[in-house]
Amino acid sequence: MHQSRPTSEAAARVLDLTAKLAHVTREAASEPHLLAALWIDESVARDLLEQSGITETLLRQWLGDDVLFHPVDDELTHETGAAATHLPNLASVITAAQSFAGQLGRHAEMGTEHLLMGLISVGGPIAAKLKEQGVTLEFLDQQTADETGSPHEPIPVDITLAPTIVTVQDTTHTDRILDAAANRCREGLRVVEDFTRFVLDDAHLSRLLKDLRHDLTAALAMLPTDRLLRSRDTPGDVGTRIDTSAERQRLGPHHVARANAKRVEESLRTLEEYGKVIDAEFAARCEALRYRFYTIEQAIETTHAARERLADCRLYLLVGSTPAAQSSRGALSWLIRDALAGGVDAIQLR
């Protein structure tokens, strides 16, 4: 869902290597694979990691030898390498990286340093470990500014400008919007997390949602909380007296979770757009959270659909692909037909 932006050759290599590492370890490409690729490629990002004290020994403790030192076949096809734009679990990281690159200009290329910044900005276990070692957005911004020669101080000029008259802007309306959206988002996330925890019994999805909830809390801490609370006027909120019959009816737990997932996405978009009035960095974080949730929502729907398909299966047949079976496909077909006729609900060929 991220917009296209020119990508440097180094960043393209890193993303391609990320997909290949995931392929050889038989996993979906994720943050550990990206960090390993940034280190292996010896790119600008690796220089930044080394400047902050990151070592190969430390990365081995974090990632394990399977990810960091797994041999990658250079002959893997580009399709196997799954191009940079087809890494769904890293969509929020790539989107954030493109956003950081965009701060340098409309046509600026996304480099490996921006991928590292995106990795840190979206949060999660890997980002937390990097921050503990001093690899923060502030550190990376300072280092990349030094490399590009971007000035940190205003350029002196010989022109004297008359100051404009600044009036105090009433932020009450914006504060009320942000306060309501933050509450909706937190509540919706909790409802969806309860579905993955108690209905799907999925520890991985529950952990992803819990991490996202904590990262949302960290982002909301950037807002003037006291001011938002003072702006709250629940009795005077006309929206509390508007509802529809559809809002009071749900067909089941999955319907509840789906409705609240949309509630989370809409709230994050509201926080992102109105947050731009107060803090651009806060808005960028909300954007990254929104893209992360899109991926989680997709995983929830896929998991639920798979369980629904197997819900009524009572008899499951596993057919091994032995040399004898391969040499007699007719016999194998006969076996499958008889099994289905005999009441087998699902067949897996191995």
78 vs 45, more confident: 45
- Which of 100-114, 131-145, 235-249, 282-296: highest mean pLDDT? 282-296
Closest by Cα among 264, 268, 262, 255 to 220: 268
Mean pLDDT of 278-285: 95
Band of residue 121 on the pLDDT scale cut at 50, 70, 90: very high
Q: What is the pLDDT of residues 188-236, one digit of tens each?
A: 999 999 999 999 999 999 999 999 999 999 999 999 988 988 888 777 6
Q: What is the pLDDT of residues 136-175, one digit of tens each?
A: 999 998 888 755 555 545 566 677 766 665 455 678 889 9
Band of residue 341 on the pLDDT scale cut at 50, 70, 90: confident
Strand partners, 110: 7
Position 32 pLDDT exceeds 70: yes
Q: What is the pLDDT of residues 89-116, one digit of tens each?
A: 898 999 999 988 888 877 789 999 999 9
What pTM did the predictor assign? 0.46
123-127, 239-243, 273-277, range with the lowest pLDDT: 239-243
